[in-house]
Chains A and B, each alone.
Chain A
């Protein structure tokens, strides 16, 4: 996944913070996945910004280690699961 690819959550997916579960959850037709801390931090930033932008922002919030590789692995996995919509492959991507 290239750094200039833009990412959103797929249509029908909704991410929200659930106080009752103290976690971000991903909601989709008739189902729910409870996310761990890092997954929640990444997915809550999938709002149309680029992969590079997302990583820079996370890096600022969590400056202690280099997050690039982990974030990209996670995004690619999330993409295979159908959670994301990206400009990858688009002409203007």
Chain B
């Protein structure tokens, strides 16, 4: 699931505050999205944090100034204690966001979450109808999602309608937006695939042509003009195609603190794939993790940067790009993100994009299943 924590602006103070806490409460999920951003090894995460441990994470983070709470997964609804976690978050003064596929939701739970103080729900869709949805996510969940989106609005939640965009659904953007509109979405996030995790494995099947992206953007623009403020539509580009390095996490260790299901603290969504030891909330206080751990300091600030970033005038806005992507594409987590045209390895990205333009036959998808997770990790 994509996230938009970049909208949380970091404080200008000297001491950074983890304003955005992401609680990945479980990696279990009834869906098998071929673009899933969970670690390839998700099936090896046993030993989920207990309710009390999550409550303590919330206490500690809130005391440090965290204010936005994302509850995601996997499918967070698989945790039976979700209502307890949400209730505690509300008491502490968090603004809580549930990031869900909608599968596992029902009227009763929606009511309970509302009473517990949940502020907002982001529901993910895969396409505008069941065929293409099932193809990318496995199973048959489309009609459940539709019903749940209606119920979310009936319970008066602000609703973000999120769709990860790729080769197989970009041409459907018009009917996807129609669906979002019919369901009463307040915000729509059309998030082009980031090629990490499972999506990296599925690059050949998921990468669109440049023309597909151009068309989808134009159609999105028409919709914006038509609906105005009543439904805010974000089209989040893909850095492969935009040819600019993304400001990873607003700067490492400045804003974002993620906690994996087993309690490992993560400075970015993909940190589990990086060659760094992740500290655990089971062993250390969150404040010590945030301030002193190697993981949160290794890419903090700009002193570690290599050339060409070190002397680049854009360093303070892009921070040299994504570390996970540097590892995947350059084989070195310290390298300049190869999506940047100034990277000596940029050619590798260009080749992928050109290959996607020329591709005639479609590639099969490697689904995010427990079996595939075990065999790939």
Contacts and interface: CB of A to CB of B under 8 A. Distances in A.
Interface SS, B side: loop
Contacts of A21: 11, 13, 17, 65
A32 B160 contact: no
Interface stretch (B1-9, B30-38, B298-306): B1-9
A61 interface: no
A32 B65 contact: no
Contacts, number: 62
Chain A interface bracket (under 10, 10 to 19, 20 to 34, 35 or more): 10 to 19
Nearest to B17: A20
Contacts of B156: 11
What is the predominant secondary structure among interface residues of chain A facing chain B?
A: strand
Measured as residues with beta carbon below 8 angstroms from the partner, the interface class of chain B is 20 to 34
A30 interface: yes
Contacts of B95: 14, 27-28, 32
Interface in B136-176: 156-158, 160
Interface string A3-32: 000000001101010111100010111111
Interface of A: 11-12, 14, 16, 18-21, 25, 27-34, 82
Report, nearest first, the 6 A-B pairs whose CB atoms are least far apart.
Answer: A20-B65, A12-B158, A31-B7, A27-B95, A29-B120, A32-B8
Interface of B: 3-5, 7-9, 11, 13, 17, 19, 64-65, 67-68, 70, 93, 95, 97, 119-120, 122, 156-158, 160, 186-187, 229
Given A16-B93, A29-B97, 12 more contacts: A11-B156, A14-B119, A19-B65, A27-B95, A29-B122, A30-B3, A30-B7, A30-B68, A30-B97, A30-B122, A30-B160, A34-B11
